Amino acid sequence: MSAGHDVRFLDVFKGQPKAVWITAFAAVIAFMGIGLVDPILLSIAEALRAGPEQVTLLFSSYLGVQVVAMLITGAFSARFGAKRTVVTGLVLIVVATLLCAMASSIGQLVALRAVWGLGNAFFIATALSVIVGAASGGQGAAIMLYEAALGIGLSTGPLLGALLGNISWRGPFAGTAVLMAIALILSAGFLPKDGDRSERAEVRLLDPLRALGHGGLLRTALGSAFYTAAFFIVLAWAPFVLEFGAIAVGLVFFGWGLCVAVAGVFLAPRLAARFGEVGGTIIAVLIFAVLLGVMAVGSKPVVVVAVILSGLASGLLNTLFTGTAMSISNAPRPVASAGYNFLRWLGGAVAATLVGHVATWFGSNHAPFAVGAVLCVIAAGLLSLELRTRGNAHQVPAEAALVGEEF
């Protein structure tokens, strides 16, 4: 990214209206939820007498509900308006996180994470459109703001989880409830009111699935599903392999999150400009496969380094996969995004559910990383088919760095 682009990145923070900052703040807290439980997985397992297969359900229930909800958020927002959708999502998250802090069993915690995932789907699917509609500087500025929120949330979530989790495993949930309650109050009070329903585009429930009838979008979404499965293998399983305390795990994933942010905002546009979105995605997913292969055979210090570096590959892939998905079909962006995210997060939900069982089946704690490497190679194969089909992979749309609609 050129120096000119760096200046532009700093300039987008100037003169933004309150609605943009409120939504961006809420987005940071929402994105924190993805890695918040990572440092406290071992603490939860010990406190609630749960095995790894049960604890990793904290990811799969969260993602599984989010997957299904992604299909209905567009229709909900079209019917009730963006502000009502955002506020509904924040209410669900506040209630779920508060009750998580008071849970007495792993079953209760898994069920409440599902409610959290539902709230996250309502909020995340709508927040970008709120920022785009309110931000000064156009869509490019709005996307950069959203990417910044994504990176801050992913990097600070594990750190917050570690600091509060070092006191009690209940601490990160209580802390998130307080922060989300602040975001809820600000959103309810200061976001612009929803316009008349007649002014909003009609979105039908099955439109996202119909959009997947486009071969290019389907191949891209499936490739992203395999990558996202590998992504959550790292996120959900690395703490069990490392067996570190909450602070140490939090610091590892803080470094990982910083790498995600830097690669997603600054490096991905360069890679897309050099090799095209599809070509760049193939390179990045193969790099991720190599790092997973290293995790599968490396010692704990090697795994730590590989996990942190995998954040660079993930940052690239988060940006490039979505850029490809948003430009590959003629479906309206919200519809294409919903269909793409449905398959993408389905991959994550399945991986988070099965990762503990994979280690048991193969008799090795490192086996899930090897499976993740294979999944990345499969994703690269699907993208190679798309590269041959597309022909001109070096054509990069203006929204090459669109990340916000992924999480």
CB-based burial label for 95 (10 Å; 0-12, 13-18, 19+): middle
Average pLDDT over residues 379-399: 66
161-188 pLDDT per residue, tens: 888 888 899 998 998 899 889 889 988 8
Number of domains within the chain:
1
Q: Is position 397 within any domain? A: no
pLDDT band at 198 (very low <50, low <70, confident <90, very high): low
Task: Examine the pLDDT at 374 and tell me if it is beyond 90.
Answer: yes
Q: Helices marked H in 12-105 — which ranges? A: 18-35, 41-47, 52-55, 57-80, 82-100
Within 10 angstroms of residue 29's Cβ, the number of other Cβ atoms is 28
* Range of lowest pLDDT (121-130, 343-352, 393-402): 393-402
* Range of lowest pLDDT (217-226, 301-310, 315-324, 383-392): 383-392
What is the pLDDT, as a whole number, of residue 5? 41
Q: Say how far apart CA 295 and CA 230 lie, in whole Å.
A: 12
Residue 211 maps to which CATH number?
Answer: 1.20.1250.20
Task: Examine the pLDDT at 128 and tell me if it is beyond 80.
Answer: no
Q: Is position 172 within any domain? A: yes
339-359 pLDDT per residue, tens: 888 888 889 889 988 888 899
Q: Which of 30, 118, 143, 121 is nearest to 74 (CA)?
A: 121
Q: Is position 85 within any domain? A: yes
What is the pLDDT, as a whole number, of residue 167? 87
Q: Is position 259 within any domain? A: yes
Q: What mean pLDDT, rounded, does the chain reach?
A: 82
Average pLDDT over residues 240-254: 88
Q: Which of 128, 146, 143, 120 is nearest to 67 (CA)?
A: 120
284-317 pLDDT per residue, tens: 999 999 999 999 998 999 999 999 999 999 989 9
Q: Is position 312 within any domain? A: yes
Q: Is position 84 within any domain? A: yes
What's the domain range around 233? Answer: 3-390
Average pLDDT over residues 259-267: 85
What is the pLDDT, as a whole number, of residue 401? 39
Q: Is position 208 within any domain? A: yes
Contact assessment for residue 262 and residue 312, using Cβ atoms and an 8 Å cutoff: yes
Percent of the chain with pLDDT over 90: 29
Report which of residues 347 and 36 the model is more confident about: 347
CB-based burial label for 367 (10 Å; 0-12, 13-18, 19+): middle
82-118 pLDDT per residue, tens: 788 889 999 999 999 999 999 999 999 999 999 999 9
What is the pLDDT, as a whole number, of residue 8? 52
What is the pLDDT, as a whole number, of residue 132? 63
What is the pLDDT, as a whole number, of residue 396? 43
Q: Which helix (H) or strand (E) holds 311?
A: helix 300-327
Q: Say how far apart CA 357 and CA 167 lie, in whole Å.
A: 30
SS3 100: helix
Q: Is position 265 within any domain? A: yes
133-170 pLDDT per residue, tens: 666 666 556 666 776 777 788 778 888 888 888 889 99
CA angle 320-323-326, nearest 5°?
150
What is the pLDDT, as a whole number, of residue 226? 96
